Amino acid sequence: MAKPLVAFLTGAGISTDSGIPDYRGPQGLWTRNPDYEKLVTYDYYMADADIRRRSWQMRREVSELRPQPNAAHKAIVTLAESGKAAVRVVTQNVDGLHQAAGLDGRKVLELHGTTRFVVCTSCGARGPTNDVLARIDAGEADPPCTECGGILKTATVMFGEALDAGVLNGAAAIAKACTVMFAVGTSLQVYPAAGLAALAADAGARLVIVNATPTPYDDIADQVVREPIGEALPKLLRDLPAA
């Protein structure tokens, strides 16, 4: 008998216990300073060297926090290793903490890319973000590509850029096939990612929303949990019935 497929749609809220601030929460980056959104908007980033300088400084500051996986990330790994279910994660996050917690990278779809690598917007050259941060520490405010001199950015999907069609199609397939979807730490306001919750529910999955604030999909959810994610998710997953 095939194992049930348990899917997780995760957003910034799952990583706040790791010291990474979310965006739209009460203390979120954009709540406190709406100007921050420009730092991750493609057109602003490409047109303004000062925006790029500030964006790199933001990446540097987050890197210095040395965020580590928290109890919620680890609970998903524990479920994956338990044999109860097949596990897939579709994440809006770019921090790589699901993989750092020990989840097989092949089970993680990163809708918005990753900050662990950089890419040249001109020639497509790719390399580790830490190498660029070292150049910033050495005095380069806006390091150019070492291959062609083009503008570098993290390998994330900025506002104004299209999501990778292959990744999005894979996420949709997971949403349609899962038995239960946990939407964790996401406001479910950013599309097309937010639409995956409805896609799962329409396909017959049980939808569980674990988030600090209300979402547009609370009304169609089978369960809505407002408790702290690091406490609530491990308990929810421990209570899942065996296959």
Q: Which residues are catalytic?
A: 112
Residue 100 tokens read as 């750092």
Straight-line distance from the first to the last Cα atom of the chain, in angstroms, rounded to the nearest whole number: 9
Dihedral angle over CA of 215, 157, 97, 168, nearest 10? 70
In sequence order, what are the beta bridge partners of 62? none
Beta carbons within 10 angstroms of residue 97's beta carbon? 22
What does the alpha-carbon distance between residue 26 and residue 68 come to, in Å, rounded to a whole number? 22
- Amino acid identity for residue 193 in this structure: A
Considering just the CA atoms, what is the radius of gyration of the chain in Å?
18
CA distances from 141 to 46, 58, 98, 134 (A): 15, 12, 30, 11
